[in-house]
Structure formats: structure tokens, C-alpha cells
């Protein structure tokens, strides 16, 4: 599945909900289902700066694809990172760096976040793209 197809799947799922309380509840559920990051990556090196909550992100590179694991100490933030991982993980680095992430606006996520959480969302995306670039360069 491509990034675009995974993003469309997220849009389709969120379109089933009429109000944002239901969407938040779904986001929280997605966060609860996120496979936990290995404890050895829950350190300052893997902490994303710019997030109101603490978010740890790890990237690995196998068979020319980047995979992500993450965790957060806040349930909404954990749901947000789980969405990003679902859409971007298991993709080629170049696809991650150039990905169209308009699904975030399509589901209305950014518009329904506080300014600090919206900044955190941008920081998460940037960090995922930085990891993708770095892993691509390292393995080229």
C-alpha cells in the first residue's frame, strides 16, 4: 500500500464520524493500539522537540524502507503519532520526504488542535522526514 492509499484509508475512517468528540475518541483508541516503542529508545535522543507532550520516535531501515515506532505520555498525542506512523511507516525514504500529508487537513485534525499541539504535529512530521533523509543517506 502506498502512502497516498494509507492516507485515503484514514480519511475514509474519519469520515464515519460526525462530530469531533467521536473523532477524538477514535484517535485515543488508535493511540492505545500503537505498538510500544522499545524502552531503550525512550530517552532524550529519541524525544521530539517542539511537542507539548513527550513523544519518543525511533526509525529503522530494512529492505530500503523506513519503519517507525513511537510512544507518548499524552493520549491524544499518541493517537496523532500513531496516524503518522500508519501512513508513513514501511515506505521508501524519498516517499516519506515528499509525501502529500493533506489527509491531516482533510480529516480536520490540525484545525481541531490547540496551537501547541498543532506545532507538535508539525514537529513530529519534520522529525519523521529527518529520520527518513538520514537513513537514506546512511544506507546509500
Antiparallel, parallel or unpaired: β 65-72 and 55-62: antiparallel
10, 21, 31, 116, 135 from 112: Cα distances, Å = 16, 10, 17, 11, 32
What does DSSP assign to residue 38? P
Active site annotation includes 14: no
Q: Which of 7, 10, 27, 51 is catalytic?
A: 51
Provide the sign of the torsion angle of the four alpha carbons 35, 16, 101, 62, taken in this order: positive
Distance of CA 4 to the CA centre of its chain: 14
Provide the sign of the torsion angle of the four alpha carbons 70, 74, 75, 81, taken in this order: negative
66 forms bridges with which residues in the sheet?
A: 61, 91
Q: Which residues are catalytic?
A: 51
Amino acid at each position: 500500500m502506498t502512502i497516498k492509499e494509507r492516507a485515503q484509508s484514514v480519511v475514509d475512517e474519519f469520515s464515519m464520524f460526525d462530530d469531533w468528540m467521536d473523532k477524538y475518541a477514535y484517535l485515543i483508541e488508535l493511540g492505545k493500539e500503537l505498538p510500544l516503542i522499545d524502552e531503550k529508545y525512550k530517552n532524550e535522543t529519541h524525544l521530539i522537540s517542539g511537542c507539548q507532550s513527550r513523544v519518543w520516535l525511533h526509525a529503522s531501515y530494512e529492505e530500503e524502507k523506513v519503519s517507525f515506532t513511537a510512544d507518548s505520555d499524552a493520549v491524544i498525542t499518541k493517537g496523532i503519532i500513531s496516524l503518522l506512523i500508519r501512513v508513513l511507516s514501511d515506505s521508501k525514504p524519498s516517499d516519506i520526504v515528499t509525501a502529500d500529508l493533506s489527509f491531516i487537513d482533510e480529516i480536520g485534525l490540525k484545525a481541531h488542535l490547540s496551537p501547541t499541539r498543532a506545532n507538535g504535529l508539525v514537529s513530529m512530521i519534520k522529525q519523521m522526514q529527518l529520520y527518513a533523509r538520514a537513513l537514506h543517506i546512511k544506507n546509500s
